[in-house]
Chains A and B, each alone.
Chain A
Amino acid sequence: MDYLDEIKTSLKNNPNLNDEIRKKIFDLIIVIHRKLPNVDLARLNNKIKSVKIGKISKLERKGNYFYDIFKNEIQFSANIKGDYDIDNLFMQALLQMTTSTDTFTGFNSDERLHALNLAYTEILATYLVGNEGDSDLEEEMLVTNLLSHIVGKDTMFNSYFTNNGEPIIKAMQDAEVKL
Protein backbone atom coordinates (compact mmCIF):
# COMPACT_ATOMS: atom_id res chain seq x y z
CA MET A 1 0.00 0.00 0.00
CA ASP A 2 1.29 3.47 -0.83
CA TYR A 3 1.15 5.45 2.37
CA LEU A 4 2.54 8.72 1.04
CA ASP A 5 -0.82 10.45 0.65
CA GLU A 6 -1.90 9.26 4.07
CA ILE A 7 1.38 10.40 5.58
CA LYS A 8 0.98 13.81 4.00
CA THR A 9 -2.45 14.09 5.59
CA SER A 10 -1.17 12.80 8.94
CA LEU A 11 1.57 15.43 8.93
CA LYS A 12 -0.84 18.19 8.00
CA ASN A 13 -3.17 17.24 10.84
CA ASN A 14 -0.44 16.97 13.48
CA PRO A 15 -0.72 20.15 15.55
CA ASN A 16 2.68 19.61 17.16
CA LEU A 17 4.61 20.41 14.00
CA ASN A 18 5.18 23.59 12.03
CA ASP A 19 5.18 23.74 8.23
CA GLU A 20 8.97 23.70 7.97
CA ILE A 21 9.26 20.51 10.02
CA ARG A 22 6.35 18.93 8.14
CA LYS A 23 8.10 19.54 4.82
CA LYS A 24 11.45 18.23 6.09
CA ILE A 25 9.87 15.06 7.47
CA PHE A 26 7.85 14.45 4.31
CA ASP A 27 10.90 14.95 2.08
CA LEU A 28 12.82 12.42 4.15
CA ILE A 29 9.97 9.93 4.06
CA ILE A 30 9.90 10.18 0.27
CA VAL A 31 13.57 9.15 0.30
CA ILE A 32 12.75 6.09 2.45
CA HIS A 33 9.92 5.18 0.12
CA ARG A 34 12.05 5.51 -3.01
CA LYS A 35 15.20 3.81 -1.77
CA LEU A 36 13.50 1.15 0.35
CA PRO A 37 10.27 0.54 -1.57
CA ASN A 38 9.47 -2.75 0.19
CA VAL A 39 9.56 -1.24 3.69
CA ASP A 40 6.10 -0.97 5.20
CA LEU A 41 5.36 2.61 6.27
CA ALA A 42 2.21 1.80 8.26
CA ARG A 43 3.82 2.22 11.67
CA LEU A 44 5.56 5.39 10.56
CA ASN A 45 2.25 6.81 9.38
CA ASN A 46 0.72 5.99 12.73
CA LYS A 47 3.52 7.65 14.68
CA ILE A 48 3.57 10.73 12.43
CA LYS A 49 0.03 11.62 13.48
CA SER A 50 1.12 12.65 16.96
CA VAL A 51 4.92 12.90 16.99
CA LYS A 52 6.41 15.85 18.82
CA ILE A 53 9.77 17.54 18.52
CA GLY A 54 11.46 18.39 21.77
CA LYS A 55 14.76 19.33 23.35
CA ILE A 56 16.72 17.57 26.03
CA SER A 57 19.52 18.81 28.16
CA LYS A 58 22.75 16.93 28.73
CA LEU A 59 21.63 16.30 32.28
CA GLU A 60 18.62 14.36 31.06
CA ARG A 61 20.30 12.35 28.35
CA LYS A 62 23.63 12.29 26.52
CA GLY A 63 23.83 12.23 22.74
CA ASN A 64 22.57 14.59 20.06
CA TYR A 65 19.16 13.13 19.50
CA PHE A 66 16.88 10.57 21.01
CA TYR A 67 13.62 9.08 19.86
CA ASP A 68 11.44 8.53 22.91
CA ILE A 69 9.29 5.60 21.92
CA PHE A 70 6.94 5.98 24.88
CA LYS A 71 6.30 9.71 24.42
CA ASN A 72 6.55 9.48 20.60
CA GLU A 73 8.91 12.43 20.68
CA ILE A 74 12.03 13.20 18.69
CA GLN A 75 14.32 14.96 21.13
CA PHE A 76 17.33 16.98 20.04
CA SER A 77 20.05 18.02 22.41
CA ALA A 78 19.82 21.63 23.52
CA ASN A 79 23.62 21.70 23.48
CA ILE A 80 24.56 20.07 20.20
CA LYS A 81 28.29 20.55 19.85
CA GLY A 82 30.17 19.82 16.71
CA ASP A 83 29.06 19.76 13.14
CA TYR A 84 26.08 17.43 12.78
CA ASP A 85 23.94 16.79 9.74
CA ILE A 86 20.39 17.43 10.93
CA ASP A 87 18.90 15.48 8.01
CA ASN A 88 20.87 12.42 9.07
CA LEU A 89 19.71 12.76 12.68
CA PHE A 90 16.09 13.22 11.56
CA MET A 91 16.36 10.21 9.27
CA GLN A 92 17.64 8.09 12.15
CA ALA A 93 14.61 9.10 14.19
CA LEU A 94 12.26 8.32 11.30
CA LEU A 95 13.81 4.87 10.87
CA GLN A 96 13.24 4.21 14.55
CA MET A 97 9.62 5.31 14.18
CA THR A 98 9.26 3.07 11.11
CA THR A 99 10.45 0.06 13.10
CA SER A 100 8.99 0.85 16.49
CA THR A 101 7.10 -1.65 18.55
CA ASP A 102 5.59 -0.85 21.95
CA THR A 103 8.94 -1.19 23.67
CA PHE A 104 11.84 -1.12 21.22
CA THR A 105 12.90 -0.27 17.69
CA GLY A 106 14.70 -2.15 14.95
CA PHE A 107 16.15 -5.51 15.99
CA ASN A 108 16.67 -4.50 19.62
CA SER A 109 14.27 -7.23 20.77
CA ASP A 110 17.27 -8.47 22.75
CA GLU A 111 19.09 -5.87 24.85
CA ARG A 112 22.40 -7.40 23.79
CA LEU A 113 21.77 -5.79 20.39
CA HIS A 114 21.33 -2.24 21.76
CA ALA A 115 24.52 -0.61 20.44
CA LEU A 116 24.43 -2.66 17.24
CA ASN A 117 20.88 -1.44 16.61
CA LEU A 118 21.83 2.21 17.07
CA ALA A 119 24.83 1.85 14.78
CA TYR A 120 22.81 0.05 12.12
CA THR A 121 20.20 2.80 12.26
CA GLU A 122 22.89 5.38 11.52
CA ILE A 123 24.36 3.23 8.74
CA LEU A 124 20.93 3.02 7.11
CA ALA A 125 20.32 6.75 7.58
CA THR A 126 23.67 7.51 5.97
CA TYR A 127 22.80 5.20 3.08
CA LEU A 128 19.54 7.11 2.61
CA VAL A 129 20.61 10.74 3.00
CA GLY A 130 24.36 10.73 3.46
CA ASN A 131 26.07 12.41 6.37
CA GLU A 132 27.87 15.68 5.88
CA GLY A 133 28.54 16.09 9.57
CA ASP A 134 30.14 14.33 12.49
CA SER A 135 29.16 10.96 13.87
CA ASP A 136 29.21 9.78 17.46
CA LEU A 137 29.03 6.13 16.47
CA GLU A 138 32.05 5.59 14.23
CA GLU A 139 33.50 2.70 16.18
CA GLU A 140 30.10 1.08 16.67
CA MET A 141 29.45 1.37 12.93
CA LEU A 142 32.83 -0.20 12.20
CA VAL A 143 31.92 -3.22 14.29
CA THR A 144 28.45 -3.36 12.75
CA ASN A 145 29.96 -3.29 9.28
CA LEU A 146 32.31 -6.14 10.17
CA LEU A 147 29.51 -8.16 11.73
CA SER A 148 27.39 -7.69 8.62
CA HIS A 149 30.01 -9.71 6.74
CA ILE A 150 29.52 -12.50 9.24
CA VAL A 151 25.77 -12.31 9.73
CA GLY A 152 24.90 -11.29 6.17
CA LYS A 153 23.59 -7.92 5.06
CA ASP A 154 20.17 -9.32 4.16
CA THR A 155 19.82 -10.91 7.59
CA MET A 156 20.59 -7.60 9.28
CA PHE A 157 18.19 -5.70 7.06
CA ASN A 158 15.34 -8.16 7.50
CA SER A 159 15.93 -8.41 11.24
CA TYR A 160 15.78 -4.63 11.53
CA PHE A 161 12.48 -4.23 9.71
CA THR A 162 10.82 -7.29 11.24
CA ASN A 163 11.93 -6.44 14.80
CA ASN A 164 13.57 -9.79 15.28
CA GLY A 165 17.16 -9.94 16.53
CA GLU A 166 17.28 -13.72 16.83
CA PRO A 167 18.60 -14.40 13.29
CA ILE A 168 21.53 -12.07 13.99
CA ILE A 169 22.45 -13.81 17.22
CA LYS A 170 22.01 -17.23 15.63
CA ALA A 171 24.23 -16.30 12.68
CA MET A 172 26.94 -15.11 15.08
CA GLN A 173 26.68 -18.30 17.10
CA ASP A 174 26.84 -20.42 13.94
CA ALA A 175 30.00 -18.55 12.94
CA GLU A 176 31.63 -19.62 16.20
CA VAL A 177 31.56 -23.23 15.12
CA LYS A 178 34.86 -24.26 13.60
CA LEU A 179 35.28 -27.01 11.05
Chain B
Amino acid sequence: MTSIVNFEENLKDRKSNVILESLNRFHDAKISGAIRPDELSKIIVLVGDLFANKISKGEVSKEEIDETESFISQFTGENKDSYFNINHADLDKSSKMFLEGDFFALEKYQERIKDSSPLFDEESYSSGFKRL
Protein backbone atom coordinates (compact mmCIF):
# COMPACT_ATOMS: atom_id res chain seq x y z
CA MET B 1 0.00 0.00 0.00
CA THR B 2 2.85 2.38 0.87
CA SER B 3 4.45 2.00 -2.56
CA ILE B 4 1.13 2.74 -4.30
CA VAL B 5 0.66 5.89 -2.23
CA ASN B 6 4.20 7.02 -3.02
CA PHE B 7 3.70 6.34 -6.72
CA GLU B 8 0.49 8.38 -6.70
CA GLU B 9 2.22 11.20 -4.85
CA ASN B 10 5.02 11.20 -7.43
CA LEU B 11 2.46 11.33 -10.21
CA LYS B 12 0.58 14.08 -8.41
CA ASP B 13 3.43 16.56 -8.36
CA ARG B 14 5.08 15.61 -11.61
CA LYS B 15 3.34 18.19 -13.85
CA SER B 16 4.04 21.00 -11.44
CA ASN B 17 7.69 20.07 -11.26
CA VAL B 18 8.00 19.73 -15.02
CA ILE B 19 6.43 23.14 -15.57
CA LEU B 20 8.72 24.89 -13.11
CA GLU B 21 11.88 23.03 -14.07
CA SER B 22 11.21 23.53 -17.79
CA LEU B 23 10.73 27.23 -17.16
CA ASN B 24 14.05 27.37 -15.33
CA ARG B 25 15.78 25.51 -18.17
CA PHE B 26 14.19 27.79 -20.76
CA HIS B 27 15.27 30.87 -18.82
CA ASP B 28 18.83 29.64 -18.25
CA ALA B 29 19.21 28.72 -21.91
CA LYS B 30 17.98 32.15 -22.98
CA ILE B 31 20.38 33.91 -20.66
CA SER B 32 23.17 31.86 -22.22
CA GLY B 33 22.12 32.89 -25.69
CA ALA B 34 20.23 29.74 -26.70
CA ILE B 35 16.53 29.40 -27.35
CA ARG B 36 14.53 26.36 -26.30
CA PRO B 37 11.06 26.60 -27.86
CA ASP B 38 10.49 22.92 -27.12
CA GLU B 39 10.65 23.65 -23.39
CA LEU B 40 8.24 26.52 -23.78
CA SER B 41 5.76 24.45 -25.79
CA LYS B 42 5.89 21.75 -23.13
CA ILE B 43 5.18 24.32 -20.44
CA ILE B 44 2.19 25.81 -22.26
CA VAL B 45 0.65 22.40 -22.86
CA LEU B 46 1.02 21.37 -19.21
CA VAL B 47 -0.28 24.68 -17.93
CA GLY B 48 -3.23 24.13 -20.24
CA ASP B 49 -3.88 20.79 -18.58
CA LEU B 50 -3.94 22.39 -15.14
CA PHE B 51 -6.27 25.12 -16.36
CA ALA B 52 -8.58 22.56 -17.96
CA ASN B 53 -8.76 20.65 -14.67
CA LYS B 54 -9.74 23.80 -12.83
CA ILE B 55 -12.45 24.54 -15.37
CA SER B 56 -13.84 21.04 -14.98
CA LYS B 57 -13.96 21.49 -11.21
CA GLY B 58 -15.80 24.78 -11.60
CA GLU B 59 -12.93 26.72 -10.06
CA VAL B 60 -12.54 29.25 -12.85
CA SER B 61 -14.97 32.08 -13.42
CA LYS B 62 -16.26 32.97 -16.86
CA GLU B 63 -14.40 36.24 -16.53
CA GLU B 64 -11.11 34.42 -15.99
CA ILE B 65 -11.81 32.13 -18.92
CA ASP B 66 -12.49 35.13 -21.16
CA GLU B 67 -9.37 36.90 -19.95
CA THR B 68 -7.18 33.85 -20.48
CA GLU B 69 -8.68 33.19 -23.91
CA SER B 70 -7.92 36.73 -24.94
CA PHE B 71 -4.39 36.45 -23.61
CA ILE B 72 -3.69 33.08 -25.21
CA SER B 73 -5.08 34.15 -28.57
CA GLN B 74 -2.20 36.62 -28.92
CA PHE B 75 0.26 33.76 -29.03
CA THR B 76 -1.29 30.86 -30.92
CA GLY B 77 -1.88 29.93 -34.50
CA GLU B 78 -1.17 32.53 -37.10
CA ASN B 79 2.39 33.66 -36.52
CA LYS B 80 4.65 31.03 -38.03
CA ASP B 81 7.65 32.47 -36.25
CA SER B 82 5.98 32.29 -32.89
CA TYR B 83 7.28 29.91 -30.26
CA PHE B 84 3.71 28.86 -29.88
CA ASN B 85 3.35 27.40 -33.33
CA ILE B 86 2.85 24.07 -31.68
CA ASN B 87 2.05 21.00 -33.72
CA HIS B 88 -1.52 20.42 -32.63
CA ALA B 89 -1.52 16.88 -33.92
CA ASP B 90 0.76 15.96 -31.03
CA LEU B 91 -1.56 17.28 -28.37
CA ASP B 92 -4.36 15.58 -26.58
CA LYS B 93 -7.88 16.90 -27.08
CA SER B 94 -8.14 19.08 -24.01
CA SER B 95 -4.78 20.72 -24.69
CA LYS B 96 -5.84 21.51 -28.24
CA MET B 97 -8.99 23.18 -27.03
CA PHE B 98 -7.06 25.20 -24.49
CA LEU B 99 -4.53 26.42 -27.02
CA GLU B 100 -7.22 27.27 -29.53
CA GLY B 101 -8.93 29.34 -26.84
CA ASP B 102 -12.15 27.37 -27.14
CA PHE B 103 -12.86 27.26 -23.44
CA PHE B 104 -16.56 26.71 -23.82
CA ALA B 105 -15.92 23.55 -25.79
CA LEU B 106 -13.26 22.56 -23.29
CA GLU B 107 -15.67 22.95 -20.41
CA LYS B 108 -18.29 20.90 -22.17
CA TYR B 109 -15.74 18.30 -23.11
CA GLN B 110 -14.66 17.96 -19.51
CA GLU B 111 -18.27 17.65 -18.40
CA ARG B 112 -18.87 14.99 -21.03
CA ILE B 113 -15.87 13.05 -19.83
CA LYS B 114 -17.22 13.27 -16.32
CA ASP B 115 -20.85 12.52 -17.04
CA SER B 116 -20.47 10.42 -20.19
CA SER B 117 -23.36 12.45 -21.59
CA PRO B 118 -23.50 13.47 -25.29
CA LEU B 119 -23.22 17.21 -24.66
CA PHE B 120 -20.41 17.73 -27.06
CA ASP B 121 -20.16 16.70 -30.65
CA GLU B 122 -16.64 16.01 -31.78
CA GLU B 123 -17.51 16.57 -35.41
CA SER B 124 -18.92 20.01 -34.63
CA TYR B 125 -15.68 20.86 -32.92
CA SER B 126 -13.59 19.73 -35.84
CA SER B 127 -15.61 21.72 -38.32
CA GLY B 128 -15.47 24.90 -36.25
CA PHE B 129 -17.33 24.84 -32.98
CA LYS B 130 -18.51 28.29 -32.00
CA ARG B 131 -19.06 29.67 -28.55
CA LEU B 132 -22.72 30.16 -27.80
Contacts and interface: CB of A to CB of B under 8 A. Distances in A.
Interface range, B side:
35 or more
A173 B47 contact: no
A176 B43 contact: no
A173 B49 CA distance: 12
Given A114-B27, A173-B13, A175-B53, A62 B114 contact: no
A7 B9 CA distance: 47
B83 A177 contact: no
A143 B83 CA distance: 13
B108 to A, nearest CB: 14
Nearest to B28: A115
Tell me the dominant secondary structure on chain A's binding face: helix
Contacts, number: 88
Interface residues of A, number: 28
B68 A149 contact: yes
A179 B47 contact: no
Interface in B47-95: 47, 49-51, 53-54, 56-57, 60, 64, 67-68, 71-72, 75, 83
A115 B30 CA distance: 11
Contact of A145 (B12, B27, B71): B71
Interface string B20-38: 1101101110111100000
Interface of B: 12-17, 19-21, 23-24, 26-28, 30-33, 40, 43-44, 47, 49-51, 53-54, 56-57, 60, 64, 67-68, 71-72, 75, 83, 110, 114
22 contacts: A63-B31, A112-B17, A115-B24, A115-B27, A115-B28, A116-B20, A136-B31, A139-B26, A139-B40, A140-B26, A143-B44, A146-B44, A146-B72, A147-B19, A147-B47, A172-B15, A172-B16, A173-B13, A175-B53, A175-B54, A179-B57, A179-B114
Given A142-B75, A150-B54, A176-B50, 6 more contacts: A112-B24, A146-B51, A169-B16, A172-B16, A176-B53, A179-B56
